[in-house]
Structure 1
């Protein structure tokens, strides 16, 4: 079997030491699920994207973490779109994911390539008291640690994320959770990450995202979660649409990331970021 070319890009950053690294295979034809899972485990990043060309500007794509397949991954989408644009030309591509069709636009200014994904139709749902209690217990948070202005919800924009807002930046910074307990809860609830956020200003947020279902303690940048969070803000009327929201993530990990979220009055959520090669 021919070995596929595996690219390594880091997304939502302009520097190789920032952002969230992703593996990218631009031509995954001939790879079965077991082989893709093995490659993702070997690469070791939170996700690796595997693209299979259709015709024109359309691709099938699958995302694998080191431990399992993920329905949709935002940072690996940004990384793959930038990698593709740098080898062909900027423009619009259509990705057929397990969550649905995702459009991605790429733009180049000098040496800088930026990608914007538009999520599948999002939705937001309530969190049961039992699930919330389990999450808080695993995180070692108390109910008083939550910001009452940003109530807990589960947001979906390609994958499910539990959204919990910290009352203070200090609470967000002090992340020390029970990995096994949170992983068990998240697998039971079909959650991809827990989106922990703190609101600095009306459209400026800081985020941290535990990702134990994928075998990852924390994501430095989570585009799918950012899209789900944009849907959450719209659904709960926490921003006036249309709105542009900025999310800083990865700072506490030493991998600063910048995610720009555009929230329209309806439809998919747009998430923008740069990506650069790791090597």
Structure 2
């Protein structure tokens, strides 16, 4: 399989951090015209990030709108309906080339407006407005199954935050814990949790600890995407905002700060805004370009791609929390089960 003759530049950006070593890395292809589904999936697998965003011309109903695009998101394993951090990354990348302003993105989950603003020092901030969210109860046996996969017990959960599935473009199981120590000590069975999440059509499991009235710490295992843990998850942040508002855990008009990635060594901050009278959730953060590896600098995509999931170049390095242990997840996504607390890792 080959890509079309025209080059397709692949960009690397991190979202929810101004430091390339923080936040959540994403691939961005600002003009993916002509790329097939298999080619997009192969690119995502080769990059090895949790998601890559591919932009093309807008659908007919948005064709007359300025700065409107169709966006699709691929993890190394499959297409996903929506990805918050890749949306932020794509918006920052677009703004660096075309200036700040408003974008309108047609995603598989629905139309998502994004606004990019700049500060006096040149820092760019992007804010996405989610599709209309929803919150659903979870069967008790499903909660128990999730806890078994995580290696947790009911006593670890905060009774003030009942388990729910939140949706704001993708489905996330939300589980809140009593202590920061429990959140930090995450060790789970990769295959067990992946199978459980697949059965419930979950994108991540969002694990939450409340530091104060409006400050939370979160972690998001993402085994269904071939990733042990997601460093900063915009879609889950939007789902959590909807969850917290619906259950009366925060005021209808709120600004929440979510810290994510700290336990992975990739700290990021996600700002969640809730507005009374508007069911949608706004998630914002900064982002920055990740320098390309020297051997790839200046080399746009114009090469052969193997079928998705089989590219020999596709691998992901997972770094432990203490930085001492490294293992690779190859393109066939073989993971050494179970994931221990010592080698729990995220993509870089």
Larger Rg over CA atoms: 2
Asked if residue 41 in structure 1 is aligned to residue 52 in structure 2, the reply is: no
Q: Any idea what the Cα deviations from partners look like across 1:208-242, whole Å, max 9, x if unmatched? A: 00000000000110000000000001110110120
Q: Any idea what the Cα deviations from partners look like across 1:151-196, whole Å, max 9, x if unmatched? A: 1000000000000001100000000000000000001100000000
C-alpha distance in 1, partners of 2:197/2:53? 22
Q: CA deviation at 1:126?
A: 0.3
User: What residue in structure 1 maps to residue 102 of structure 2?
Assistant: 92
Asked if residue 72 in structure 1 is aligned to residue 76 in structure 2, the reply is: no
User: SS at the partner of 2:236?
Assistant: helix
Asked if residue 121 in structure 1 is aligned to residue 132 in structure 2, the reply is: yes
C-alpha distance in 1, partners of 2:218/2:150? 15
User: What residue in structure 1 maps to residue 23 of structure 2?
Assistant: 19
C-alpha distance in 2, partners of 1:118/1:186? 26
Asked if residue 156 in structure 1 is aligned to residue 167 in structure 2, the reply is: yes
Asked if residue 211 in structure 1 is aligned to residue 222 in structure 2, the reply is: yes
Q: CA deviation at 1:111?
A: 2.2
Structure 2 runs not aligned, ≥5 long: 292-348
Aligned length in residues = 279
User: SS at the partner of 1:120?
Assistant: coil
User: What residue in structure 1 maps to residue 68 of structure 2?
Assistant: 58
Specify which of 236, 242, 248 is matched with residue 237 of structure 1.
248
Asked if residue 9 in structure 1 is aligned to residue 37 in structure 2, the reply is: no
Q: CA deviation at 1:32?
A: 1.2
C-alpha distance in 2, partners of 1:268/1:9? 26
User: SS at the partner of 1:205?
Assistant: strand
User: What residue in structure 2 maps to residue 251 of structure 1?
Assistant: 262
Asked if residue 103 in structure 1 is aligned to residue 113 in structure 2, the reply is: yes
Specify which of 251, 273, 279 is matched with residue 267 of structure 1.
279
TM normalised by structure 2 equals 0.79
Specify which of 180, 183, 191 is matched with residue 172 of structure 1.
183
Q: CA deviation at 1:268?
A: 0.9
User: SS at the partner of 1:76?
Assistant: helix
Aligned alpha-carbon RMSD (Å): 0.7
C-alpha distance in 1, partners of 2:141/2:280? 30
C-alpha distance in 2, partners of 1:130/1:151? 14
Stretch of structure 1 that moved more, 76-85 or 49-58 = 49-58
C-alpha distance in 2, partners of 1:3/1:27? 9
User: SS at the partner of 1:227?
Assistant: helix
C-alpha distance in 2, partners of 1:67/1:3? 24
Q: CA deviation at 1:267?
A: 2.0
Q: CA deviation at 1:263?
A: 1.0
TM normalised by structure 1 equals 0.99
User: What residue in structure 2 maps to residue 193 of structure 1?
Assistant: 204
Specify which of 32, 37, 56 is matched with residue 36 of structure 2.
32
C-alpha distance in 2, partners of 1:134/1:3? 46
Q: Any idea what the Cα deviations from partners look like across 1:95-139, whole Å, max 9, x if unmatched? A: 000000000000011320000000000000000112111100000
